[in-house]
Structure 1
């Protein structure tokens, strides 16, 4: 027991005995026993509910003993009233003290809980005293200053003085680690101790206080004890009633790792952009090479045919001219293919005109006719679109048909007989085109994977044909799909295109 408490106990015992003696052995006609309340109050200062109850009980017993000794043979109504009054005072005082001790215990528990949270929180917190700052700002208001921002911009000394006026009264352990300070006694005393000289955020903060703001959050930079500058996020709030300015708590989050992550992310983004550009260049080159390969093959075929006509004895000039004219047409087609592919990959606008589907299919078959004949492929044409038109780019659509025909020829290289059936028909919502070959079918390949870039089943293929076809179909609001035949060996490619709209309803075609 502490020395102070021992003195209280001794004084309480002495007081109780004195009150008992006066109440028992004197003839004072007053409620002397009420003075036991003082003894109970002394017990309450010990902060123990047990001590209060025990003291109250002893005082009540002493009161009853004194009453019995003094009035046992002569019960007076006034004496009885004084007894009841004394006991009531005892009970009321006891209850009030028990409540006070309970409240104090709850308050201590709450303070302990708060202190534990404060000290162990992962976020840095420091407590600030803003009373001097608030007083100085009120003086400026009394001087008639309404817009404080120009004043702060012109009076940097005032801002520095206010930084020094904000005193730091407490910090938690996380704040000590953040600022590289070993103990609270060695922590910075004012904001000016760790804010950089070129800090501009505090002036905006002062302006916010002057303008009546209560919530603040901003990112700034502070100087650690070792001199290193670190970025932090500060958040604090002021009470709306203006009270508690001596303990404004600021929550501090170290933004160093976030900034490092953002820098690393930006570096990765730049590297990814460079890689994407390189990949795009490669993809464009591969796409152009893939799409130009077919007209180049046709050019070679026509030139070789023209050479053979010229090598005859006598030379057949007319047939040679026809072959060379076909080569020129194939060359022009190759140039158009390059132009359209660049538009498609570059997201540029393509030609947007009405295209007669049956005619475009027939032209594509004509371009491949000699290759089809050389491979022994029998083509069955059933073009029943009845002159139906779609709106789009004829060269790009024709390139889709050429790619599908080339894929069918490749699929039938190891099969016999080799038959390619091409059908078109008019539907309510558009034109349906069906390419059915008698090749090996899809095998183990999933239909969707065949449309992915650089996915190919050909030994020397690039895997761009069907991917390019799907891109062209999407640009024309159409679809393309592939599946195995159910009526025999081979695969079926189905193309669906919407019918051409009226000119005023047409939407510009973009790839």
Structure 2
């Protein structure tokens, strides 16, 4: 029976010999020993003991062979796991939160109900807990990420490479305290050379109270993505600056046109007022009316200069969500007060349409389009009519301006002629502003033959953006 012990001692897990190689000699030695001691005169009991001994050796050999096969399977499985673990492009390291959970449970037992407030008021304890987190394993991608050359030189504790000013560890502690099943966050870690590396880490946390000694974290290096975001932001700023300079250039070329229009009107109104005053007796009512119109024209010029100055002084454009219908209403009401005898028909949407853009430029755009439409009707002001309507679909919002006259205009329509406020620099400026916001402008002769139709189309933005 003692030969079974020989098999157990021989199979220590490191021998390359199969158990059968040991079992055969042991069985032969058991038979030889039996023959030496009993010869050919052994009785039945002694023969049964020999059979039992040989059976014990055989069973031990079979069990050891089975254990050997299981060890080989486990070794192959470990090798396959290690190969997969180290061949992943995704960095992974394993945490041991056992001591941290013991500390958190002790805090809870001591009466700490608001863990977040406690950790916020005790940064020293947070640093202590961070030092208790052990790093038990890491794959090759993790070592490359942090600039390590071997597992022996990898960080042993989380505090070795997590900066002290990091806030994500507190979020992780709160997730552990809540027994959350997962935890994800972006943070910075310190590499072997002291450089800060942006990462995204995701961990699956135990919820049954066990397994805190092997919590794996999957780590994604965000360095390239952050660099691309920075480059994209720089490109966006350069694009905005280029568009801004283009718009400023358009403004500079159109200022003379935008301002000369009301200045010409002022001169015409003042000449008319002088004629009314030269009459005998002077017609003071008509003189007051044209002087008021000259005053409105002067306000138009002042407004143009003020808006241009504001855009230039700000230095760069700032986009925001702008409600479309209120923007149109403000511009239309401002023009209506300066043209009280003109017929206005205003039909606006429900106010749920938004556009993403620069408020001052959009106000300048809408005011120029409405004002240009009014001046396209070559007839007295009291004979002009303007219809303003907004519409929208899932992608765009639209402003439709229809300008006409009650009677045939004194000046015939010329097909290639643009409205007064929309000719040359004025139209190019309006189109530049519309294109800056991703939109377009269409100006056509209306069916009545006494004015124009203007359509402004801009991309629609959601109010949740």
> What is the TM-score when the length of structure 2 is the normalising length?
0.53
Q: Match of 2:161?
A: 194
Is 1:203 aligned with 2:203?
A: no
Structure with the greater alpha carbon radius of gyration: 1
Whether the 8 Å contact between 1:40 and 1:94 is mirrored in structure 2 is: yes
Tell me, yes or no, if the aligned pair for 2:13 and 2:68 is still in contact at 8 Å: no
Among 379, 382, 400, the alignment partner of 1:350 is 400
Cα displacement (A) at 1:206: 0.9
Equivalent residues of 2:389, 2:401 under 8 A apart = no
Q: Could you say which residue in structure 2 is the equivalent of 1:213?
A: 180
Q: Deviations over 1:55-106 (max 9, x none)?
A: 1122223334444566664463323322322222112111111121222222
CA, structure 1 residues 107+342, in 2 after alignment: closer, same or farther (shift >3 Å)? same
Aligned to 2:225: 258
C-alpha deviation, 1:161, in angstroms = 0.9
Change (3 A) 1:206 1:368: closer
* Partner of residue 80, structure 1: 47
Quick check: 1:174 aligned with 2:224?
no
Question: Do residues 238 (structure 1) and 205 (structure 2) align?
Answer: yes
Query: Aligned pair count?
Result: 301
Residue 37 of structure 1, CA deviation: 0.2
CA gap 1:195/1:49 in 2 versus in 1, 3 angstroms = closer
> How far 1:259 moved relative to its partner?
0.9
Structure 1 distance, partners of 2:443, 2:402, is 11
- Separation in structure 2 between the aligned mates of residue 240 and residue 344 of structure 1, nearest angstrom: 54
Is residue 90 of structure 1 aligned with residue 57 of structure 2?
yes
> Structure 2 matches for 1:372-383, cutoff 5 A?
none
Unaligned runs of 5+ in 2: 252-372, 416-441, 459-465
| Cα distance in 2, alignment partners of residues 238 and 331 from structure 1 | 71
Deviations 1:438-459 (A, max 9, x none): xxxxxxxxxxxxxxxxxxxxxx
SS of 1:62's equivalent in the other structure is: helix
**C-alpha deviation, 1:118, in angstroms:** 3.3
- Alpha carbons of 1:108 and 1:88: their partners in 2 closer, same or farther (altered >3 Å)? same
Report if the CA contact (8 A) 1:43-1:51 is conserved.
no
Q: Which segment is superposed worse, 42-51 or 133-142?
A: 42-51
Q: Distance between the aligned counterparts of 2:91 and 2:374, measured in 1? A: 74
Higher relative contact order (CA 8 A, sep 6+): 2
Q: Take 2:94 and 2:182, find their aligned partners in 1: how far apart are those partners?
A: 16
Q: Structure 1 residues 74 and 184, CA, compared in 2 at 3 Å: closer, same or farther?
A: closer
Deviations 1:205-248 (A, max 9, x none): 11111111232110011222333222111122233343343333
CA–CA distance in structure 2, aligned partners of residues 234 and 252 of structure 1: 4
Cα gap change, 1:244 to 1:396, in 2 (>3 Å): closer
Name 1:413's counterpart in structure 2: none
Mapped partners of 1:368, 1:39: distance in 2:
116
**SS state of the match for residue 243, structure 1?**
coil
In structure 1, distance between residues paired with 2:35 and 2:178: 73
Question: 1:127 maps to which residue?
Answer: 94
Query: Does structure 2 retain, via aligned residues, the 8 Å contact 1:152–1:203?
Result: yes
Structure 1 residues 400 and 225, CA gap change in structure 2 (3 angstroms): farther
Q: After superposition, where does 1:240-319 map in structure 2 within 5 Å? A: 240-272=207-239
Normalising by the residue count of structure 1, what TM-score does the alignment of the two structures yield? 0.49
Mapping of 1:59-78 within 5 angstroms?
A: 59-67=26-34, 73-74=40-41, 76-78=43-45
- SS of residue matched to 2:66: helix
Q: C-alpha separation between the residues in 2 aligned to 1:117 and 1:44?
A: 30
Q: In the alignment, is the contact (CA less than 8 A) between 1:49 and 1:98 conserved in 2?
A: no
Alignment partner, residue 460 of structure 1: none
Q: What SS class does the counterpart of residue 38 from structure 1 fall into?
A: helix
CA contact (8 A) 1:132 1:165 kept: yes
Q: Which runs of 5+ in 1 are unaligned?
A: 1-33, 285-328, 356-362, 370-394, 403-467, 476-511
The Cα shift of 1:266 comes to 2.5
Classify the secondary structure of the residue corresponding to 1:45.
Answer: coil
Q: CA deviation at 1:54?
A: 1.3
Give RMSD over aligned pairs: 4.7
Residue by residue over 1:238-283, the C-alpha shift from the partner in whole angstroms, topping out at 9 and shown as x without a partner, is: 3334334333332222211111111222333344456677889999
- Would the aligned equivalents of 1:60 and 1:90 in 2 still touch at CA under 8 Å? yes
Distance across 1 between alignment mates of 2:232 and 2:101: 42
Structure 1 window deviating more from structure 2 (260-269 vs 91-100): it is: 260-269
Residue 347 of structure 1 deviates from its aligned partner by 4.5
